[in-house]
Chains A and B, each alone.
Chain A
Amino acid sequence: MKKIFVLIFIALISCDLPQDPGPMPTEIIQSEYIPGLNIFGVLRNDGIPGTSFFRVERSWETEEATMEFVVTVENATITIASDSSAWDFTFTIDSLHGEIYANPDFSPDKQVQYQLIANAPGLPELTGEVTVPAIPMVDTSSILIENNVFQVSIAGQAEIEMYDIVVISDYNSITQRYLSNGDTLIAEVNLSNLIGEPVGLAIYAYETNLTQYQTSTMTIKPQTYHEAVNTVMGGYGCFGAVSVFTLPIN
């Protein structure tokens, strides 16, 4: 009997209690954390100055995370440049966007390539480039609403990779996403979940960077391999552009 008690005692002391973290994994391949700026910048070609913006943060090591830690970078320098001009974006707090970098005078031109250079103390320089797509060419005479399906024809444009077609009512909106192959697109939106009558149409055309980033998946499971999709160099995130077409519907 004594032997049994001794065995039970050894078994118990060699175990981990439920409130402990438990045995931890061991590293078998060394992998290096590379700190960097974490950015989301969108150049918005909608004819309204100041609607383009950047959200600028930094990456972090897991163990840094506390309940109130901040990753927003307030002292970065954000510059975009085309062949002819350059613009600085400055830190601002916006009621709609939160903490962003913006330039109230900037309005991107279609089919122009812009370079981004972002710097922040202690972090590597982040760069990126994007070509702003033209505003979608919509054949307004093709718009048709039949059997609760909205239909519109959009002429193909080389630099457009993806469209979001949004039909808006006074109460909600329905979005349908289409990848573009450069040909004329006959887009359809099922309106069965639209509350009320359609009052407006918005078509958003994305270039390569924003398309790739927006269609990349996320993972919420820990300890799973996930290929990072970044459209910038020297950091993390996306520098992309969108062009906007809007039309009221009677």
Chain B
Amino acid sequence: MRNWLLFAILAVAVMQAANVSGYVADQESGETIIGVNVQVVGTGLGAATDRNGFFTITGIPFGGYQLRFSHIAYQNRQMDIEIAGDDIYLATIKMTLATVKGESVTVTGNRGKIIKRDMDIASFEVDPVVLREVPTLGRDVFRLVQFSPSTTISDPISPLYYVRGSDPGENLVQLDGMTIYNPQHMLSLQAIFNPYAIKNIEMLVGGYDAEFGGRNSSILYISSREGHQDQVKGEFKPSTSGFNGAVEFPAPIGGTAMLSGRILTSLLNRVLMNMPNYMGDFNGAWQNTIGNTKIRLSTFFARDYMDYDFHRFSIYFTQPYMKDYSFGFLSDATNLAAGIKTRTIITPSLVGESHVYFSRFSVENNNFFSFSAFDSIQNIDVVLKYNTKIINRISDFTAKANLTYLGFWNQTLKLGIENSNYNFYNDAGIFSDKSSITDVNSALLSIYFQDKLELGPVLIKLGLREARFHRDSKWRIEPRASMAIKLGNSKLKAAWGRYHQFITTMNTQDVEISQYLDYYFPLRNVQPLTSIHYILGLEGHLSPKLDYTITAYYKDLPVLYRFDYNSNASSIFSYGTALEQGSGQAHGAELMIRGDWNRFSGWTSYSWSRSTRSYPTVQNGREFLYDGDQTHNLKAVLLYKLTEDITASTTVKFSSGYPRTWEIGNYNHYTYDPLSNTVGVFPEPYTPVKNNYRYPARLEIDIGWKKKLRSGFGYYLAEYIGSDESYFTLSISNLLFLRRNPYMYIYIPEYGYYGYDIAYFPMVSAGYSIKF
């Protein structure tokens, strides 16, 4: 009886309440602002603006209130509202920048604090200002992502990263909601996103909502800038390897626009080695508001070309032993995407979104290694010809739409549908074998429903996603649930979810000389990759300016696939037989502290993790450590405000070594030439146990320095061309250069093993940038 009474009181209270929603934007540029806290003063009710700069506060009881808008980089703003009946849509609230001096450092440290965390229990959100303030990050998104407590790498010269023990191919990267495949430049191993064009970087590392699907491990959501409503603003950064620039401006046809581009080349390789190479990326966005609808058009293009033949070293270092020596790779990759997105406030309680985009990635990757040498013992020529060729292409035409309803009982309901039409093309070959061509069309249809319910200190999210890869295949259900409970200044969070992935990637790192890329394949007529996440977290404040997050997770990986490229080249002729199903698990705990402390700001994290795999044909199904398993990871990104104009920074990474397969013996592999009835030999390592050794721990420390110019040539040059500000940056990477971080061991007869490192000396780089 008492329960029913409580229910009735709640119902009456909710019926006499309404919702408030709206956008928050920068007064000067018109760009929407992410992470603005909007509070209904005196009620404890509030919300933060999302990645669209949009907020909704549900269940405000009838009456007069003051709304307070606050953001660390902006002046606070208040406004009065009267809740009397209908829901209120406030259109766009403008905020004015608070200060310029020292702004960026403060924002860097407080980013975790300024955003009112919602249910994304496992998110890593960073203001892209970090990329500009910390020179040692090389203005690279992926290098920044590596400082998340949830990521590990197993190859320092590859941009691919592991999130909580899952495969790199299970990470989704989206630019303004468009999926970007292989979003890395092969030449520089960095992300193909121009840092100036980035407005926000958000990484969901597990337990994410039903809204997100298609990948099982992480979602890296990158929002690009929207443009400037009144002036032409931008940045130009010339360097010896190319140029990097971006410009924001009011679009001639109305609305705002942004264009950015980079073209880079390695002059050293091009001039000294005659090895042609270049990389470029271009990003464009136009945005306008018509009535209650925001329209956004996004385009993206990137190209990488590398023709590296290390034989050309012999110009400088001749060797008499090998004839017809050839070693290198030729890679040509193109990435393009274009899409149009709308967001309409249909009523103050109903928001509709639609998005149509096309994304395509294609690559031709040739690796080769060949030589002939005279074998004085056998008195014959030993000939080796090793080459791999992979042409891989994925085309993705996606249409998606969703409706968000600010419903009764403090609920936010979201219903969405997505359809992706894919084309997968693969042409893979080893040696001179006839290559296998796979050309497959597939369609992934998904629907999802998400309900967010706020009941005082308790916030609950329940979601359901269903997906079908082909018309004739069955629907797969992915339930998701999460909750958060406020406990004083702390918040306890928990999440559980089932995730399916219908695209797998091929691991070729044991075959190709270099693997910089994921090669994509559809999972037709087999179970999808499956991952079940269990997450528990606690977050709170150590001091007013210092936050902490503790997270523990367990991932059950009951369906995994190994592309059995390694065992038998003939199996790649028939793609379906090359897949082997296995299973795995990953678990770990993470601690992160971020914020400000005196003149320091930034974050530091420690994580402990373990991840294993098992496949029937690998060591008879015996469990082995996963390639990305690193037990301990200690990371830090710290900034120190030396003066008004100078910021010093450092990045520190200490991690356990990754597991690798150590050869315990060798035997000769023979190649038979039937025409001459002769046989060639090449020594092969004997590796009966996968990942039987662990590499030594890695320690990397880089330092940086950024100075705003007040005088000198750089300042006057900037002043001459009418720019607002100019900066000088200096970074020294590999500071502990005498400490070796081997990533490969080469056996040298009569010497022994030699640990091969990629950086023997500290690398000093200086930069100059102009903002206008």
Residues of A within 8 A of B (CB): 11-12, 14-18, 20-36, 38, 40, 42, 44, 51, 53, 55, 57, 59-63, 65-72, 93, 95-99, 162, 164, 166, 168, 173, 175-179, 202, 204, 210-229, 236-238, 242, 244
Interface residues in B411-446 (C-beta closer than 8 Å to A): 430, 432-434
- Residues in B whose Cβ lies below 8 Å from that of A95: 379
How many whole Å from A78's CB to the nearest CB in chain B? Answer: 15
Query: Are A176 and B434 in touch, CB under 8 angstroms?
Result: yes
Query: Are A44 and B677 in touch, CB under 8 angstroms?
Result: yes
Query: Are A22 and B742 in touch, CB under 8 angstroms?
Result: yes
Question: Which segment, of B269-277, B517-525, B684-692, B763-771, faces chain A?
Answer: B684-692
Given contacts A21-B754, A226-B684, whether A217 and B668 have CB atoms under 8 Å apart is: no
Query: Are B685 and A12 in touch, CB under 8 angstroms?
Result: no
- Residues in A whose Cβ lies below 8 Å from that of B513: 220-221
Question: Beyond the given A55-B670, A96-B676, A99-B378, could you list 10 further A-B residue pairs with CB under 8 A, ordered by the A residue number?
Answer: A16-B740, A18-B740, A40-B679, A71-B668, A96-B677, A212-B568, A220-B369, A222-B744, A222-B747, A224-B510
- Residues in B whose Cβ lies below 8 Å from that of A229: 567-568
How many whole Å from A238's CB to the nearest CB in chain B? Answer: 7
Query: Are A72 and B377 in touch, CB under 8 angstroms?
Result: yes
How far, in whole Å, are A236 and B567 apart by their CA atoms in the complex? 15
Q: Mark B487-530, 1 if CB is under 8 A from A, else 0.
A: 00000000000000000000001110100000000000000000
- Residues in A whose Cβ lies below 8 Å from that of B618: 225, 227
Query: Are A166 and B685 in touch, CB under 8 angstroms?
Result: no
A-B CB pair tally, cutoff 8 Å? 241
Q: Which of A32, A70, A202, A224 contacts B675 (CB under 8 A)?
A: A202
Query: Are B747 and A65 in touch, CB under 8 angstroms?
Result: yes
How many whole Å from A53's CB to the nearest CB in chain B? Answer: 8
Chain B CB within 10 Å, residue with most, of A44, A55, A215:
A215
Residue B240 at the A interface, CB < 8 A?
no
Given contacts A40-B670, A217-B511, A219-B511, whether A31 and B664 have CB atoms under 8 Å apart is: yes
How far, in whole Å, are A17 and B504 apart by their CA atoms in the complex? 42
How many whole Å from A32's CB to the nearest CB in chain B? Answer: 7
Pairs A-B, 7 closest by C-beta atoms: A22-B755, A15-B738, A98-B378, A23-B696, A22-B740, A40-B670, A31-B689
How far, in whole Å, are A168 and B674 apart by their CA atoms in the complex? 13
How far, in whole Å, are A96 and B510 apart by their CA atoms in the complex? 33
Query: Are B747 and A62 in touch, CB under 8 angstroms?
Result: yes
Query: Are A218 and B510 in touch, CB under 8 angstroms?
Result: no
Q: Which of B434, B568, B753 contacts A24 (CB under 8 A)?
A: B753
**Which residue of chain A has the shortest Cβ distance to B689 in the bound complex?**
A31
Given contacts A219-B510, A244-B674, whether A236 and B667 have CB atoms under 8 Å apart is: yes
Secondary structure call for the A interface: loop
**Which residue of chain A has the shortest Cβ distance to B571 in the bound complex?**
A215
Residue B228 at the A interface, CB < 8 A?
no
Given contacts A51-B677, A224-B661, whether A12 and B738 have CB atoms under 8 Å apart is: yes
Given contacts A17-B738, A71-B668, whether A25 and B694 have CB atoms under 8 Å apart is: yes
Q: Which of B432, B566, B669, B674 contacts A204 (CB under 8 A)?
A: B674
- Residues in B whose Cβ lies below 8 Å from that of A34: 665
How far, in whole Å, are A173 and B625 apart by their CA atoms in the complex? 47
Query: Are B694 and A59 in touch, CB under 8 angstroms?
Result: no
Given contacts A16-B739, A99-B378, whether A219 and B684 have CB atoms under 8 Å apart is: yes
- Residues in A whose Cβ lies below 8 Å from that of B685: 62, 219, 222, 224, 226
Residue B757 at the A interface, CB < 8 A?
yes
Residue B65 at the A interface, CB < 8 A?
no
- Residues in A whose Cβ lies below 8 Å from that of B757: 18, 22
Q: Which of A24, A59, A215 contacts B696 (CB under 8 A)?
A: A24
**Which residue of chain A has the shortest Cβ distance to B430 in the bound complex?**
A217
Interface residues in B635-678 (C-beta closer than 8 Å to A): 657, 659-672, 674-678
Query: Are A237 and B694 in touch, CB under 8 angstroms?
Result: no
- Residues in B whose Cβ lies below 8 Å from that of A179: 570, 573
Q: Which of A28, A97, A218 contacts B625 (CB under 8 A)?
A: A28
Residue B375 at the A interface, CB < 8 A?
yes
How far, in whole Å, are A220 and B329 apart by their CA atoms in the complex? 14
Cβ contacts A to B, 21 pairs, < 8 Å = A12-B738, A18-B740, A24-B755, A27-B692, A29-B691, A34-B665, A59-B686, A62-B666, A173-B675, A176-B434, A202-B674, A212-B568, A214-B671, A217-B511, A222-B663, A222-B744, A222-B745, A223-B661, A223-B693, A225-B687, A226-B510
**Which residue of chain A has the shortest Cβ distance to B617 in the bound complex?**
A227
Interface residues in B609-644 (C-beta closer than 8 Å to A): 617-618, 624-625
Residue B749 at the A interface, CB < 8 A?
yes
Query: Are A60 and B684 in touch, CB under 8 angstroms?
Result: no
Residue B386 at the A interface, CB < 8 A?
yes
Residue B752 at the A interface, CB < 8 A?
yes
Residue B313 at the A interface, CB < 8 A?
no
How far, in whole Å, are A213 and B669 apart by their CA atoms in the complex? 9
Query: Are A60 and B693 in touch, CB under 8 angstroms?
Result: no
How far, in whole Å, are A226 and B666 apart by their CA atoms in the complex? 12
Interface residues in B344-380 (C-beta closer than 8 Å to A): 369, 375, 377-380
How many whole Å from B689's CB to the nearest CB in chain A? Answer: 4
Query: Are A55 and B679 in touch, CB under 8 angstroms?
Result: yes
Query: Are B674 and A216 in touch, CB under 8 angstroms?
Result: no
How far, in whole Å, are A204 and B673 apart by their CA atoms in the complex? 10
Query: Are A25 and B662 in touch, CB under 8 angstroms?
Result: yes
**Which residue of chain B has the shortest Cβ distance to A224 in the bound complex?**
B510
Given contacts A97-B679, A212-B568, A217-B567, whether A237 and B670 have CB atoms under 8 Å apart is: yes
- Residues in A whose Cβ lies below 8 Å from that of B378: 72, 98-99
Residue B682 at the A interface, CB < 8 A?
yes
Q: Which of B379, B432, B511, B690 contacts A175 (CB under 8 A)?
A: B432
**Which residue of chain B has the shortest Cβ distance to A16 in the bound complex?**
B740
- Residues in A whose Cβ lies below 8 Å from that of B738: 12, 15-18
Given contacts A24-B696, A24-B755, A179-B573, whether A97 and B672 have CB atoms under 8 Å apart is: no
How many whole Å from A139's CB to the nearest CB in chain B? Answer: 21
- Residues in A whose Cβ lies below 8 Å from that of B684: 218-219, 226, 228
Query: Are A70 and B670 in touch, CB under 8 angstroms?
Result: no
Q: Mark B707-744, 1 if CB is under 8 A from A, else 0.
A: 00000000000000000000000000000101110101
How far, in whole Å, are A53 and B689 apart by their CA atoms in the complex? 32
Q: Which of A18, A24, A38, A210 contacts B668 (CB under 8 A)?
A: A38
- Residues in B whose Cβ lies below 8 Å from that of A20: 740
Residue B750 at the A interface, CB < 8 A?
yes
How far, in whole Å, are A224 and B510 apart by their CA atoms in the complex? 5
Query: Are B678 and A28 in touch, CB under 8 angstroms?
Result: no
- Residues in A whose Cβ lies below 8 Å from that of B567: 216-217, 227, 229
Query: Are B665 and A33 in touch, CB under 8 angstroms?
Result: yes
